[in-house]
Amino acid sequence: MTLGGLLTGPPAVVAAGVDVFSDALRTQGAEVHDVDWRPPGFGSAEDIAALALDPRRASANRAAVERILAAGSQLVDVRPASEVIGLRDRMLLHSGPPLTWETASGPMRGALIAACLFEEWATDVEDAERILAAGEITLDPCHHHRTVGPMAGVTSPSMWMWCLKDPVNGGQAFCNLNEGLGKVLRMGAFNDEVITRLRWMRDVLGPILSKAVRGSIDAGNDPIDVKAILAQMLQMGDEGHNRNRAGSLMALRELSPSIVAVDAPSSDIAEVLRFIGGNEHFYLNLGMPTAKLAMDAARGVPGSSLVTVMARNGTEFGIQTAGTGDRWFTGPAQTPVGLYLGDYGPDDANPDIGDSAIMETYGVGGFSMAAAPAIVRFVGGTVPDALATTERMYQLTLAENPAMAIPIMGFRGSPTGIDVLKVARTGWLPQINTGMAGRIAGTGQVGAGLVQPPQECFEKALVALAEAARTA
Protein backbone atom coordinates (compact mmCIF):
# COMPACT_ATOMS: atom_id res chain seq x y z
CA MET A 1 0.00 0.00 0.00
CA THR A 2 1.21 3.51 -0.79
CA LEU A 3 3.26 5.09 1.99
CA GLY A 4 2.37 2.20 4.28
CA GLY A 5 -1.30 3.20 4.22
CA LEU A 6 -0.53 6.68 5.50
CA LEU A 7 -3.19 8.40 3.36
CA THR A 8 -6.01 5.98 4.15
CA GLY A 9 -7.29 7.77 7.22
CA PRO A 10 -6.42 10.18 10.03
CA PRO A 11 -3.02 8.99 11.22
CA ALA A 12 -1.91 8.29 14.76
CA VAL A 13 1.17 10.36 15.54
CA VAL A 14 4.26 9.43 17.51
CA ALA A 15 6.16 12.59 18.36
CA ALA A 16 9.65 13.32 19.66
CA GLY A 17 10.67 16.85 20.54
CA VAL A 18 8.79 20.05 21.35
CA ASP A 19 5.26 19.58 22.64
CA VAL A 20 3.65 22.53 20.83
CA PHE A 21 2.81 20.29 17.89
CA SER A 22 1.42 17.51 20.03
CA ASP A 23 -0.81 20.00 21.85
CA ALA A 24 -2.14 21.26 18.51
CA LEU A 25 -2.81 17.67 17.43
CA ARG A 26 -4.70 16.92 20.65
CA THR A 27 -6.94 19.93 20.14
CA GLN A 28 -7.84 18.36 16.79
CA GLY A 29 -8.70 15.10 18.52
CA ALA A 30 -5.82 13.24 16.87
CA GLU A 31 -4.19 10.24 18.56
CA VAL A 32 -0.77 11.41 19.77
CA HIS A 33 1.96 9.51 21.61
CA ASP A 34 4.83 11.63 22.88
CA VAL A 35 8.06 9.79 23.46
CA ASP A 36 10.24 11.04 26.28
CA TRP A 37 13.16 11.87 24.01
CA ARG A 38 16.51 12.85 25.50
CA PRO A 39 19.80 13.66 23.85
CA PRO A 40 21.86 10.47 23.55
CA GLY A 41 23.50 9.27 26.76
CA PHE A 42 26.84 9.20 24.96
CA GLY A 43 28.35 9.22 21.49
CA SER A 44 28.81 12.08 19.04
CA ALA A 45 25.89 13.06 16.83
CA GLU A 46 28.10 12.21 13.82
CA ASP A 47 28.78 8.66 15.03
CA ILE A 48 25.15 8.03 15.93
CA ALA A 49 24.07 9.31 12.50
CA ALA A 50 26.69 7.18 10.74
CA LEU A 51 25.30 4.08 12.44
CA ALA A 52 21.65 5.08 12.04
CA LEU A 53 22.16 5.63 8.32
CA ASP A 54 24.37 2.59 7.65
CA PRO A 55 22.34 0.82 4.95
CA ARG A 56 23.78 -2.52 6.11
CA ARG A 57 22.56 -2.14 9.68
CA ALA A 58 18.95 -3.27 9.49
CA SER A 59 19.59 -6.44 7.51
CA ALA A 60 22.80 -7.21 9.39
CA ASN A 61 21.07 -6.94 12.73
CA ARG A 62 18.18 -9.01 11.44
CA ALA A 63 20.59 -11.72 10.29
CA ALA A 64 22.42 -11.70 13.63
CA VAL A 65 19.17 -11.90 15.58
CA GLU A 66 17.84 -14.74 13.44
CA ARG A 67 20.91 -16.81 14.16
CA ILE A 68 20.60 -16.15 17.90
CA LEU A 69 16.93 -17.06 18.02
CA ALA A 70 17.45 -20.17 15.92
CA ALA A 71 20.39 -21.47 17.95
CA GLY A 72 19.77 -24.64 19.93
CA SER A 73 21.80 -26.23 22.72
CA GLN A 74 22.38 -29.93 23.24
CA LEU A 75 24.50 -31.54 25.92
CA VAL A 76 26.65 -33.91 23.87
CA ASP A 77 29.60 -34.78 26.09
CA VAL A 78 31.57 -34.17 29.28
CA ARG A 79 35.35 -34.21 28.79
CA PRO A 80 38.49 -32.74 30.33
CA ALA A 81 39.51 -29.29 29.13
CA SER A 82 42.85 -30.64 27.95
CA GLU A 83 40.99 -32.75 25.41
CA VAL A 84 38.15 -30.54 24.22
CA ILE A 85 39.75 -27.14 23.91
CA GLY A 86 43.36 -28.30 23.75
CA LEU A 87 44.18 -26.58 27.01
CA ARG A 88 47.86 -27.46 27.44
CA ASP A 89 50.06 -27.83 30.46
CA ARG A 90 50.71 -24.60 32.37
CA MET A 91 47.88 -22.77 30.65
CA LEU A 92 44.79 -21.38 32.37
CA LEU A 93 41.69 -19.73 31.03
CA HIS A 94 39.99 -16.88 32.88
CA SER A 95 36.80 -14.88 32.55
CA GLY A 96 36.39 -11.54 30.82
CA PRO A 97 38.73 -9.67 28.52
CA PRO A 98 42.50 -10.38 28.52
CA LEU A 99 44.45 -9.63 31.69
CA THR A 100 47.79 -10.26 33.33
CA TRP A 101 48.74 -11.39 36.82
CA GLU A 102 49.75 -7.80 37.57
CA THR A 103 46.32 -6.43 36.70
CA ALA A 104 44.36 -9.35 38.16
CA SER A 105 42.09 -8.57 41.13
CA GLY A 106 42.09 -10.49 44.42
CA PRO A 107 39.54 -13.17 43.55
CA MET A 108 41.08 -13.68 40.10
CA ARG A 109 44.47 -14.17 41.71
CA GLY A 110 42.93 -16.47 44.28
CA ALA A 111 41.33 -18.59 41.57
CA LEU A 112 44.56 -18.76 39.56
CA ILE A 113 46.40 -19.82 42.72
CA ALA A 114 43.76 -22.48 43.38
CA ALA A 115 44.13 -23.82 39.84
CA CYS A 116 47.93 -24.02 40.17
CA LEU A 117 47.56 -25.92 43.43
CA PHE A 118 44.88 -28.18 41.95
CA GLU A 119 47.03 -28.96 38.89
CA GLU A 120 50.03 -29.44 41.25
CA TRP A 121 52.06 -26.90 39.33
CA ALA A 122 52.83 -25.32 42.66
CA THR A 123 53.44 -26.79 46.09
CA ASP A 124 51.87 -24.01 48.11
CA VAL A 125 50.26 -20.60 47.79
CA GLU A 126 53.56 -18.70 47.77
CA ASP A 127 54.93 -21.01 45.12
CA ALA A 128 51.79 -20.50 43.02
CA GLU A 129 52.06 -16.73 43.33
CA ARG A 130 55.70 -16.93 42.32
CA ILE A 131 55.14 -18.91 39.13
CA LEU A 132 52.14 -16.79 38.18
CA ALA A 133 54.07 -13.57 38.77
CA ALA A 134 57.01 -14.98 36.80
CA GLY A 135 54.74 -15.52 33.80
CA GLU A 136 55.29 -19.27 33.83
CA ILE A 137 51.58 -19.84 33.41
CA THR A 138 49.92 -18.76 30.16
CA LEU A 139 46.67 -16.87 30.73
CA ASP A 140 43.97 -16.50 28.10
CA PRO A 141 40.29 -15.49 28.15
CA CYS A 142 37.72 -18.30 28.08
CA HIS A 143 35.92 -16.46 25.32
CA HIS A 144 38.91 -17.00 23.01
CA HIS A 145 38.26 -20.74 23.25
CA ARG A 146 34.49 -21.00 22.73
CA THR A 147 34.36 -21.29 26.51
CA VAL A 148 32.68 -19.38 29.30
CA GLY A 149 33.35 -19.50 33.02
CA PRO A 150 31.35 -18.00 35.90
CA MET A 151 33.05 -15.52 38.27
CA ALA A 152 36.86 -15.91 37.90
CA GLY A 153 36.12 -18.47 35.21
CA VAL A 154 39.48 -20.08 35.80
CA THR A 155 39.62 -23.29 33.82
CA SER A 156 42.57 -25.68 34.03
CA PRO A 157 43.50 -28.65 31.83
CA SER A 158 42.18 -31.38 34.09
CA MET A 159 38.81 -29.78 34.82
CA TRP A 160 35.86 -31.55 33.22
CA MET A 161 33.84 -29.50 30.75
CA TRP A 162 30.26 -29.54 29.67
CA CYS A 163 30.37 -29.91 25.88
CA LEU A 164 27.38 -28.30 24.17
CA LYS A 165 26.46 -28.26 20.54
CA ASP A 166 24.16 -26.00 18.54
CA PRO A 167 22.47 -28.38 16.09
CA VAL A 168 21.19 -25.47 13.98
CA ASN A 169 24.27 -23.31 13.44
CA GLY A 170 26.75 -26.11 14.16
CA GLY A 171 28.62 -24.30 16.91
CA GLN A 172 30.20 -25.75 20.03
CA ALA A 173 30.63 -24.23 23.48
CA PHE A 174 32.23 -25.36 26.70
CA CYS A 175 32.04 -24.63 30.42
CA ASN A 176 33.50 -26.30 33.49
CA LEU A 177 31.39 -27.85 36.25
CA ASN A 178 29.86 -25.70 38.98
CA GLU A 179 31.50 -26.15 42.39
CA GLY A 180 28.60 -24.96 44.53
CA LEU A 181 28.52 -21.95 46.87
CA GLY A 182 30.73 -20.57 49.59
CA LYS A 183 34.48 -21.23 49.50
CA VAL A 184 35.01 -22.11 45.86
CA LEU A 185 37.71 -21.50 43.27
CA ARG A 186 35.56 -19.36 41.05
CA MET A 187 35.04 -16.92 43.92
CA GLY A 188 38.78 -16.77 44.55
CA ALA A 189 39.09 -19.23 47.46
CA PHE A 190 41.99 -21.70 47.49
CA ASN A 191 42.03 -23.45 50.87
CA ASP A 192 42.19 -27.24 51.30
CA GLU A 193 38.41 -27.53 51.15
CA VAL A 194 38.45 -25.96 47.68
CA ILE A 195 41.25 -28.12 46.34
CA THR A 196 39.75 -31.28 47.87
CA ARG A 197 36.43 -30.58 46.18
CA LEU A 198 38.09 -29.89 42.83
CA ARG A 199 39.91 -33.23 43.09
CA TRP A 200 36.69 -35.04 43.87
CA MET A 201 35.08 -33.31 40.88
CA ARG A 202 38.00 -34.44 38.73
CA ASP A 203 38.10 -38.00 40.02
CA VAL A 204 34.46 -38.81 40.72
CA LEU A 205 31.93 -36.22 39.49
CA GLY A 206 33.45 -35.64 36.05
CA PRO A 207 33.92 -39.27 35.07
CA ILE A 208 30.43 -40.20 36.27
CA LEU A 209 28.80 -37.28 34.41
CA SER A 210 30.82 -38.11 31.33
CA LYS A 211 29.73 -41.75 31.40
CA ALA A 212 26.15 -40.74 32.13
CA VAL A 213 25.92 -38.27 29.22
CA ARG A 214 27.70 -40.55 26.74
CA GLY A 215 25.88 -43.63 27.96
CA SER A 216 22.51 -42.05 27.42
CA ILE A 217 23.40 -40.90 23.90
CA ASP A 218 25.00 -44.27 23.09
CA ALA A 219 21.77 -45.94 24.19
CA GLY A 220 19.96 -44.00 21.49
CA ASN A 221 18.47 -41.23 23.59
CA ASP A 222 18.37 -37.67 22.31
CA PRO A 223 20.95 -35.40 23.87
CA ILE A 224 19.56 -33.30 26.72
CA ASP A 225 18.00 -30.12 25.32
CA VAL A 226 19.61 -27.52 27.56
CA LYS A 227 17.85 -24.58 25.89
CA ALA A 228 14.48 -26.17 26.67
CA ILE A 229 15.40 -26.26 30.35
CA LEU A 230 16.26 -22.55 30.27
CA ALA A 231 12.92 -21.79 28.64
CA GLN A 232 11.10 -23.71 31.38
CA MET A 233 13.10 -22.00 34.13
CA LEU A 234 11.69 -18.64 33.12
CA GLN A 235 8.23 -20.08 33.79
CA MET A 236 9.36 -21.21 37.24
CA GLY A 237 10.80 -18.11 38.89
CA ASP A 238 14.41 -18.38 37.65
CA GLU A 239 16.08 -15.80 35.46
CA GLY A 240 18.99 -18.09 34.64
CA HIS A 241 21.82 -16.07 36.12
CA ASN A 242 21.45 -15.35 39.80
CA ARG A 243 18.59 -17.75 40.30
CA ASN A 244 18.94 -21.26 38.85
CA ARG A 245 16.93 -23.28 41.36
CA ALA A 246 14.36 -24.75 39.01
CA GLY A 247 16.92 -25.24 36.27
CA SER A 248 19.29 -27.10 38.54
CA LEU A 249 16.54 -29.44 39.66
CA MET A 250 15.42 -30.01 36.08
CA ALA A 251 18.99 -30.75 35.05
CA LEU A 252 19.19 -33.22 37.93
CA ARG A 253 15.94 -34.80 36.76
CA GLU A 254 17.26 -35.18 33.22
CA LEU A 255 20.63 -36.55 34.30
CA SER A 256 19.63 -38.81 37.21
CA PRO A 257 18.56 -41.93 35.30
CA SER A 258 21.80 -41.95 33.33
CA ILE A 259 23.90 -41.21 36.42
CA VAL A 260 22.33 -44.11 38.28
CA ALA A 261 23.01 -46.36 35.30
CA VAL A 262 26.76 -45.63 35.43
CA ASP A 263 28.88 -48.52 36.64
CA ALA A 264 30.39 -46.91 39.72
CA PRO A 265 30.28 -47.49 43.48
CA SER A 266 26.83 -46.60 44.77
CA SER A 267 28.42 -44.37 47.37
CA ASP A 268 29.94 -42.29 44.57
CA ILE A 269 26.64 -42.18 42.71
CA ALA A 270 24.90 -41.04 45.89
CA GLU A 271 27.53 -38.38 46.49
CA VAL A 272 27.18 -37.08 42.92
CA LEU A 273 23.40 -36.85 43.24
CA ARG A 274 23.69 -35.17 46.64
CA PHE A 275 26.22 -32.69 45.27
CA ILE A 276 24.05 -31.73 42.30
CA GLY A 277 20.89 -31.58 44.37
CA GLY A 278 22.59 -29.34 46.92
CA ASN A 279 23.83 -26.80 44.41
CA GLU A 280 21.29 -24.21 43.36
CA HIS A 281 23.65 -22.92 40.68
CA PHE A 282 24.46 -26.28 39.15
CA TYR A 283 22.56 -25.31 35.98
CA LEU A 284 24.40 -22.00 35.53
CA ASN A 285 27.37 -23.76 33.92
CA LEU A 286 24.97 -25.33 31.41
CA GLY A 287 23.01 -22.13 30.79
CA MET A 288 26.13 -20.08 30.10
CA PRO A 289 27.43 -22.22 27.22
CA THR A 290 23.86 -22.35 25.89
CA ALA A 291 23.87 -18.55 25.68
CA LYS A 292 27.42 -18.65 24.34
CA LEU A 293 26.35 -20.93 21.47
CA ALA A 294 23.64 -18.48 20.45
CA MET A 295 25.85 -15.40 20.72
CA ASP A 296 28.76 -17.03 18.89
CA ALA A 297 26.34 -17.78 16.05
CA ALA A 298 25.90 -14.01 15.63
CA ARG A 299 29.64 -13.32 15.37
CA GLY A 300 31.09 -11.78 12.26
CA VAL A 301 28.12 -10.01 10.72
CA PRO A 302 29.52 -6.82 9.14
CA GLY A 303 27.30 -3.83 9.82
CA SER A 304 25.60 -5.35 12.87
CA SER A 305 25.64 -3.28 16.05
CA LEU A 306 24.53 -6.24 18.19
CA VAL A 307 26.53 -7.10 21.32
CA THR A 308 27.85 -10.68 21.20
CA VAL A 309 29.82 -10.71 24.46
CA MET A 310 29.64 -8.96 27.81
CA ALA A 311 32.28 -10.34 30.19
CA ARG A 312 34.27 -9.17 33.18
CA ASN A 313 37.59 -10.26 34.64
CA GLY A 314 37.31 -8.52 38.01
CA THR A 315 39.37 -5.59 36.76
CA GLU A 316 37.82 -4.70 33.43
CA PHE A 317 34.48 -5.15 31.75
CA GLY A 318 34.68 -6.03 28.06
CA ILE A 319 32.19 -6.30 25.24
CA GLN A 320 32.35 -7.49 21.65
CA THR A 321 29.92 -6.83 18.82
CA ALA A 322 28.81 -8.79 15.78
CA GLY A 323 30.12 -6.07 13.48
CA THR A 324 33.59 -5.79 14.98
CA GLY A 325 34.65 -9.44 15.31
CA ASP A 326 36.94 -10.44 18.17
CA ARG A 327 37.87 -6.91 19.20
CA TRP A 328 37.30 -6.11 22.90
CA PHE A 329 35.92 -2.77 24.06
CA THR A 330 36.78 -2.41 27.73
CA GLY A 331 36.26 -0.17 30.72
CA PRO A 332 36.77 -0.47 34.47
CA ALA A 333 34.54 -3.08 36.10
CA GLN A 334 31.96 -1.61 38.49
CA THR A 335 31.21 -2.94 41.96
CA PRO A 336 27.78 -4.58 42.26
CA VAL A 337 25.14 -3.23 44.61
CA GLY A 338 23.35 -5.87 46.58
CA LEU A 339 23.09 -7.94 49.71
CA TYR A 340 25.98 -9.44 51.63
CA LEU A 341 26.52 -12.79 53.28
CA GLY A 342 27.19 -12.76 57.01
CA ASP A 343 28.87 -9.54 58.09
CA TYR A 344 30.51 -8.81 54.77
CA GLY A 345 29.83 -5.34 53.42
CA PRO A 346 30.46 -3.17 50.38
CA ASP A 347 34.14 -2.73 51.31
CA ASP A 348 34.64 -6.47 51.01
CA ALA A 349 33.27 -6.83 47.48
CA ASN A 350 35.47 -7.08 44.41
CA PRO A 351 34.50 -5.28 41.21
CA ASP A 352 32.34 -7.17 38.77
CA ILE A 353 33.73 -10.49 37.59
CA GLY A 354 32.74 -13.41 35.36
CA ASP A 355 31.62 -14.50 31.92
CA SER A 356 28.12 -15.10 33.28
CA ALA A 357 26.94 -11.79 31.81
CA ILE A 358 26.61 -13.90 28.65
CA MET A 359 23.16 -14.66 30.10
CA GLU A 360 22.15 -10.99 29.84
CA THR A 361 23.80 -10.78 26.43
CA TYR A 362 21.41 -13.57 25.44
CA GLY A 363 18.42 -11.79 27.01
CA VAL A 364 17.89 -13.68 30.26
CA GLY A 365 19.39 -12.93 33.68
CA GLY A 366 18.89 -9.25 34.50
CA PHE A 367 17.09 -8.69 31.19
CA SER A 368 14.40 -11.18 32.21
CA MET A 369 14.23 -9.86 35.76
CA ALA A 370 10.44 -9.78 35.47
CA ALA A 371 10.49 -13.59 35.38
CA ALA A 372 12.23 -13.72 38.75
CA PRO A 373 10.85 -11.04 41.06
CA ALA A 374 12.80 -12.60 43.94
CA ILE A 375 16.03 -11.34 42.40
CA VAL A 376 15.09 -7.67 42.44
CA ARG A 377 15.04 -7.73 46.22
CA PHE A 378 18.81 -8.08 46.15
CA VAL A 379 18.86 -4.31 45.89
CA GLY A 380 15.84 -3.67 48.05
CA GLY A 381 13.67 -3.24 44.98
CA THR A 382 10.10 -4.27 44.38
CA VAL A 383 8.17 -6.40 41.92
CA PRO A 384 7.28 -3.31 39.86
CA ASP A 385 11.01 -2.57 39.68
CA ALA A 386 11.59 -6.02 38.20
CA LEU A 387 8.93 -5.44 35.58
CA ALA A 388 10.28 -1.98 34.82
CA THR A 389 13.80 -3.34 34.36
CA THR A 390 12.65 -5.80 31.73
CA GLU A 391 10.52 -3.10 30.09
CA ARG A 392 13.60 -0.89 29.90
CA MET A 393 15.70 -3.67 28.44
CA TYR A 394 13.19 -4.08 25.60
CA GLN A 395 14.26 -0.60 24.50
CA LEU A 396 17.91 -1.69 24.36
CA THR A 397 17.36 -4.82 22.33
CA LEU A 398 16.59 -5.81 18.77
CA ALA A 399 14.22 -8.73 19.29
CA GLU A 400 12.03 -10.71 21.63
CA ASN A 401 13.03 -14.36 21.93
CA PRO A 402 9.81 -16.35 21.56
CA ALA A 403 11.49 -19.42 23.07
CA MET A 404 12.14 -17.51 26.31
CA ALA A 405 8.66 -16.35 27.25
CA ILE A 406 8.16 -14.32 30.43
CA PRO A 407 4.76 -15.17 31.93
CA ILE A 408 4.12 -11.93 33.80
CA MET A 409 4.94 -9.87 30.70
CA GLY A 410 2.02 -11.56 28.97
CA PHE A 411 4.46 -14.22 27.72
CA ARG A 412 6.44 -11.69 25.75
CA GLY A 413 9.76 -13.14 24.68
CA SER A 414 12.86 -12.11 26.60
CA PRO A 415 14.53 -8.87 25.38
CA THR A 416 17.29 -10.23 23.17
CA GLY A 417 20.21 -8.78 21.24
CA ILE A 418 21.62 -5.60 22.80
CA ASP A 419 22.04 -2.87 20.20
CA VAL A 420 24.97 -0.52 20.87
CA LEU A 421 23.07 2.25 19.05
CA LYS A 422 20.02 1.84 21.30
CA VAL A 423 22.20 1.86 24.41
CA ALA A 424 23.70 5.16 23.26
CA ARG A 425 20.38 6.71 22.31
CA THR A 426 18.49 5.75 25.46
CA GLY A 427 21.45 6.35 27.76
CA TRP A 428 20.37 3.22 29.64
CA LEU A 429 22.93 0.55 30.38
CA PRO A 430 22.27 -3.20 30.40
CA GLN A 431 21.16 -4.63 33.76
CA ILE A 432 23.17 -7.58 35.03
CA ASN A 433 22.43 -9.87 37.98
CA THR A 434 25.57 -11.25 39.52
CA GLY A 435 27.36 -12.88 42.41
CA MET A 436 29.97 -10.94 44.36
CA ALA A 437 33.42 -12.29 45.21
CA GLY A 438 35.51 -11.02 48.12
CA ARG A 439 38.16 -8.57 47.01
CA ILE A 440 40.86 -10.32 49.05
CA ALA A 441 42.20 -13.46 47.39
CA GLY A 442 40.99 -16.55 49.22
CA THR A 443 37.80 -14.99 50.65
CA GLY A 444 35.16 -16.64 48.45
CA GLN A 445 31.66 -15.32 47.91
CA VAL A 446 30.54 -12.28 49.89
CA GLY A 447 27.14 -11.58 48.36
CA ALA A 448 25.09 -11.11 45.24
CA GLY A 449 23.47 -8.16 43.56
CA LEU A 450 22.99 -6.01 40.51
CA VAL A 451 25.55 -4.27 38.35
CA GLN A 452 25.86 -2.42 35.08
CA PRO A 453 28.69 -2.30 32.57
CA PRO A 454 30.82 0.84 32.47
CA GLN A 455 29.48 3.15 29.77
CA GLU A 456 33.00 3.38 28.38
CA CYS A 457 32.72 -0.09 26.73
CA PHE A 458 29.74 1.04 24.73
CA GLU A 459 31.30 4.42 23.93
CA LYS A 460 34.31 2.68 22.40
CA ALA A 461 32.16 0.15 20.54
CA LEU A 462 30.01 2.94 19.09
CA VAL A 463 33.07 4.77 17.77
CA ALA A 464 34.41 1.58 16.17
CA LEU A 465 31.07 0.64 14.63
CA ALA A 466 30.61 4.16 13.25
CA GLU A 467 34.10 4.03 11.78
CA ALA A 468 33.30 0.69 10.16
CA ALA A 469 30.04 2.14 8.79
CA ARG A 470 31.87 5.07 7.21
CA THR A 471 34.44 2.90 5.50
CA ALA A 472 31.99 0.21 4.41
Quote the CA–CA distance of 206 and 197 in Å, as a whole number: 12
Q: How far is the CB of 303 from other proteins (least distance, A)?
A: 14
Residues 250-309 that bind other proteins (CB under 8 A): none
Q: Exactly one of 236, 337, 388, 472 binds other proteins (CB under 8 A); which one?
A: 388
Q: Exactly one of 236, 264, 408, 472 binds other proteins (CB under 8 A); which one?
A: 408
Q: Closer CB to other proteins, residue 328 or residue 394?
A: 394
Quote the CA–CA distance of 98 and 104 in Å, as a whole number: 10
Are residues 202 and 159 in contact, defined by beta-carbon separation less than 8 angstroms? yes
Amino acid letter for position 381: G
Residues 10-69 that bind other proteins (CB under 8 A): 10-18, 20-22, 24-25, 27-28, 30, 33-40, 45-46, 48-49, 51-53, 55, 58
Q: Exactly one of 171, 447, 453, 454 binds other proteins (CB under 8 A); which one?
A: 447
Q: How far is the CB of 310 from other proteins (least distance, A)?
A: 21
- Selection from 320, 308, 353, 309 nearest residue 334 by Cα: 353
Collapsing DSSP states into helix, strand and coil, what is residue 191? coil
- Contact characters 150-189, other proteins, x per CB under 8 A: -------------------------------xx-------
Are residues 145 and 66 in contact, defined by beta-carbon separation less than 8 angstroms? no
Give the CA-trace dihedral at 78, 84, 89, 94, to 10 degrees. -80
Would you call 11 exposed, middle or buried from its count of C-beta atoms within 10 A (0-12, 13-18, 19+)? middle
Are residues 337 and 451 in contact, defined by beta-carbon separation less than 8 angstroms? yes
Residues 190-219 that bind other proteins (CB under 8 A): none
Number of residues that bind other proteins (CB under 8 A): 74
- Selection from 224, 202, 203 nearest residue 212 by Cα: 224
Q: Residue 55, Cβ neighbours under 10 Å: how many?
A: 10
Q: How far is the CB of 19 from other proteins (least distance, A)?
A: 9
Q: How far is the CB of 249 from other proteins (least distance, A)?
A: 16
Would you call 102 exposed, middle or buried from its count of C-beta atoms within 10 A (0-12, 13-18, 19+)? exposed
Q: How far is the CB of 396 from other proteins (least distance, A)?
A: 10
- The total number of residues shown for the chain amounts to 472
Q: How far is the CB of 454 from other proteins (least distance, A)?
A: 20
Q: Exactly one of 236, 261, 383, 463 binds other proteins (CB under 8 A); which one?
A: 383
Using CB under 8 A as the binding rule, whether residue 363 contacts other proteins is answered as no
Residues 111-130 that bind other proteins (CB under 8 A): none
Q: How far is the CB of 231 from other proteins (least distance, A)?
A: 22
